[in-house]
């Protein structure tokens, strides 16, 4: 070769290399520029559909999943080869060879559809379908298809094939409310994915192109035809033998439908309360975006125990409710609003307005202590009237001279009304308001107020007792521990955003009241609630005619309210001792997980001799209330 020719070749070679490098570099820059306009591929692994909410218990157990959510996911290494191969054969037979877009697959699908005279096969790869599901809409526009292609290439560059297949199989919609292979295997066959046989896997793998149309629950004959197409593709791809192919073709559907896991709540009364409370702390936009994880305050094990106890021990065929609050945090640990949520969704813990009976006596007795009266001060328990209102004790029994503490222990109605007359309506109503009672529905200045004439919810009454247990600090009850958004960022936290509590009752007065409430359980009307080797402070309550049976009791770490009655307000023909006994049955199951600790001591000596001393408070009519 002549030197001039060699020189020309070198120039040509150098020019070609330079152009090649420039082209590659330009493609790199263009690719980077396009990538910068696209969302991160890592968003696939944390994908949550709009409007989805996962509700968790305090220890992270799933209580319910709301919206179009994948209710159970499976890691790729735990999926059977049968599942992987069936979807690859059905949707994207060159999945492990292409880089996001399969040109040969598009041509093959086009030729097959022309030959069959109908749409038999789509050209979108599994990667494209995943990109469309996570990042795009279902609009059939050129712009969307171009974005889909660009995203598919990006996913293939940033994720492994195994990662792409895992996310696809966990998020693809498969009809009947099933999102992902685990949901579908449960919804159609009541099985775990690894329990599916070949014919069942083929049924599910045939669903993505038209989940509603091919659903075996909707069109069983069409589902079988679609299944056979999938089986044929698996055979053609060499994934199954001829014998396996023929046997699967002969299989009947053998459906065993089931509701998607976590579709129904394991604590429905509690989650129905969540639904009403969450709009108070999150915006409509935050709720709409979805992907929310709500960690609640609910102890799911305690909740299940409360459900069992309520159904098993309700007196007669009464309805009932059990509610537990952690006094020093306001966290609602248990909420059972009735025996059967499927029969009625009416929440008797938060919605039922019932006469609290003698449980309301907490309010006038706290007011008496604030007024300056002492537990040993004496009253005269005797029939007495106030402007035509003549309260009666249970069984029309009156004991004459009785101390304030004993009047509470034995629940003397006449003394409760005497206290109201002495300390005044304003003081008693103020005490109630500070303890969270009477703020939504105003309390009137009527003497029956003292013994529970004004209807309250179990949540309101239990919260008031919880504040006394918490030594006079009222904390608004909450079902929320923490709320995280779609990107796992904290949107709300009880630690930073929750109610910090407010001192509403003097600590010494709260401690004295707790001491008096312990005497109610030790020797008074709450005797049925006694727990062995553990202090209990509480109060029974029975409304007129026994229409409502209450017991609200506390150990230092937990305040629990129990209510029984009929929704139509008819008489129960029972007593509040039944509620106290059920309280004991429930607390006997849950209290062993809590340390045995004592209530703070009464600020002054609590020797029984003190109850024989003190000044005598004669019954008075008091001023006529302002009506």
Q: Quick check: 216 pLDDT over 60?
A: yes
Which of 131-145, 173-187, 314-328, 574-588 is least confident? 131-145
CB 251 within 8 A of CB 240: no
Q: Does 91 qualify as catalytic in the annotation?
A: yes
Predicted confidence at residue 26, as pLDDT, reads 41
The band of 148, judged by pLDDT with boundaries at 50, 70 and 90, is confident
Q: Quick check: 21 pLDDT over 60?
A: no
Predicted confidence at residue 140, as pLDDT, reads 60
Neighbours of 133 (CB within 10 A): 18
Q: Quick check: 24 pLDDT over 70?
A: no
Q: What is the dihedral of CA 383, 385, 388, 394, to 10 degrees?
A: -40
The band of 286, judged by pLDDT with boundaries at 50, 70 and 90, is confident
pLDDT single digits (tens) 366-416: 999 999 999 999 999 999 999 999 999 988 999 999 999 999 999 999 999
Predicted confidence at residue 23, as pLDDT, reads 41
CB 614 within 8 A of CB 605: no
The band of 135, judged by pLDDT with boundaries at 50, 70 and 90, is confident
Burial call 379-388: b when 16+ CB within 10 Å, e when fewer: bbbbebebee
Q: Given 215, 272, 324, 358, which residue is catalytic? A: 358
Q: How many whole angstroms separate alpha carbon 445 and alpha carbon 173? A: 60
pTM equals: 0.84
Structure tokens at 196: 């599916």
The band of 610, judged by pLDDT with boundaries at 50, 70 and 90, is very low
Which 3 state secondary structure label does DSSP give 536? Answer: coil
Q: What's the whole-number mean pLDDT along residues 14-34?
A: 46
The domain spans of the chain are 48-70+263-296, 72-250, 303-340+350-479+487-617
Q: Quick check: 354 pLDDT over 70?
A: yes
Mean pLDDT of the chain: 89
Query: Of 28-37, 158-167, 283-292, which has the strongest mean pLDDT?
Result: 158-167
Q: Does 358 qualify as catalytic in the annotation?
A: yes
CB 540 within 8 A of CB 356: no
Q: What's the whole-number mean pLDDT along residues 195-203?
A: 97
Q: What's the whole-number mean pLDDT along residues 240-260?
A: 94
Q: Given 72, 91, 148, 156, which residue is catalytic? A: 91
Q: What are the backbone angles phi and psi of residue 352, rounded to the nearest 5°? A: -75, 120
Structure tokens at 571: 């008489």
The architecture that CATH gives domain 72-250 is: Orthogonal Bundle (1.10)
Closest CA to 348 of 273, 441, 457: 457
The band of 116, judged by pLDDT with boundaries at 50, 70 and 90, is low
Predicted confidence at residue 276, as pLDDT, reads 95
Q: Does domain 303-340+350-479+487-617 have CATH number 3.40.710.10?
A: yes
Predicted confidence at residue 31, as pLDDT, reads 47
Q: Quick check: 236 pLDDT over 50?
A: yes
Burial of 568 by CB count in 10 Å (0-12 exposed, 13-18 middle, 19+ buried)?
Answer: exposed
Query: Packing angle between helix 362-371 and helix 507-523, nearest 10 degrees?
Result: 130
């Amino acid at each position: 070769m002549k030197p001039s020719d060699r020189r020309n070749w070198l120039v040509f070679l150098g020019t070609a290399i330079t152009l090649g490098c420039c082209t590659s570099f330009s493609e790199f820059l263009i690719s980077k520029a396009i990538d910068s306009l696209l969302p991160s591929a890592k968003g696939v692994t944390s994908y949550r559909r709009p409007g989805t909410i996962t509700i968790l218990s305090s220890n992270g157990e799933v209580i319910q999943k709301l919206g179009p959510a994948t209710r159970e996911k499976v890691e790729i290494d735990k999926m059977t080869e049968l599942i992987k191969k069936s979807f690859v054969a059905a949707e994207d037979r060159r999945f492990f060879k292409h880089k996001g877009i399969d040109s040969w697959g598009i041509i093959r699908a086009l030729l097959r559809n022309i030959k069959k005279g109908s749409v038999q096969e789509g050209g979108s790869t599994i990667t494209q379908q995943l990109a469309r599901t996570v990042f795009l809409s279902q609009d059939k526009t050129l712009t969307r298809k171009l974005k889909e292609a660009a995203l598919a290439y990006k996913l293939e560059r940033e994720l492994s094939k195994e990662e792409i297949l895992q996310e696809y199989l966990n998020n693809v919609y498969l009809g009947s409310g099933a999102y992902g292979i685990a949901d579908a295997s449960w919804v159609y066959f009541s099985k775990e994915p690894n329990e599916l046989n070949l014919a069942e896997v083929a049924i599910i793998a045939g669903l993505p192109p038209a989940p509603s149309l091919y659903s075996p629950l909707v069109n069983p004959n069409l589902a079988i035809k679609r299944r056979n197409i999938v089986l044929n593709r698996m055979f053609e791809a060499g994934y199954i033998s001829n014998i396996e192919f023929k046997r699967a073709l002969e299989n009947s559907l053998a459906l065993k439908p089931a509701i998607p896991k976590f579709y129904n709540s394991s604590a429905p009364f509690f989650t129905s309360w969540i639904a009403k409370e969450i709009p108070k702390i999150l915006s409509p936009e935050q709720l709409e975006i979805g992907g929310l994880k709500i960690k609640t305050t609910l102890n799911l094990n305690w909740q299940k125990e409360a459900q069992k106890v309520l159904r098993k021990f309700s007196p007669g065929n009464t309805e009932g409710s059990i509610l537990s609050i952690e006094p020093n945090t306001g966290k609602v640990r248990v909420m059972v609003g009735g025996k059967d949520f499927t029969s009625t969704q009416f929440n008797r813990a938060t919605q039922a307005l019932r006469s609290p009976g003698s449980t309301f006596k907490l309010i006038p007795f706290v007011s008496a202590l604030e007024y300056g009266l002492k537990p040993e001060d004496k009253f005269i328990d005797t029939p007495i009237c106030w402007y035509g209102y003549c309260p009666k004790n249970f069984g029309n029994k009156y004991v004459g001279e009785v101390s304030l503490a004993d009047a509470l222990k034995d629940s003397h109605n006449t003394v409760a009304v005497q206290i109201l007359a002495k300390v005044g309506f304003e003081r008693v109503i103020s005490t109630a308001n500070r303890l969270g009672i009477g703020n939504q529905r105003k309390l009137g200045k009527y003497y029956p107020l003292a013994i529970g004439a004004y209807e309250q919810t179990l949540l309101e009454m239990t919260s008031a007792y919880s504040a006394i247990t918490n030594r006079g600090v009222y904390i608004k009850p909450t079902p929320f521990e923490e709320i995280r958004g779609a990107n796992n960022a904290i949107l709300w936290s009880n630690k930073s955003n929750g109610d910090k509590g407010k001192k509403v009752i003097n600590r010494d007065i709260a401690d004295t009241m707790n001491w008096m409430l312990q005497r109610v359980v030790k020797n008074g009307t709450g005797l049925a609630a006694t727990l062995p080797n553990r202090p209990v402070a509480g109060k029974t309550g029975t409304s007129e005619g026994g229409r409502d049976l209450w017991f609200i009791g506390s150990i230092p770490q937990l305040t629990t309210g129990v209510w029984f009655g009929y929704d139509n307000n008819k008489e129960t023909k029972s007593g509040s001792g039944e509620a106290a006994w059920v309280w004991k049955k429930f607390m006997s199951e849950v209290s062993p997980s809590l340390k045995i600790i004592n209530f703070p001591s009464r600020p002054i000596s609590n020797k029984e001799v003190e109850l024989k001393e003190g000044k005598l408070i004669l019954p008075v009519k008091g001023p006529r209330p302002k009506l």
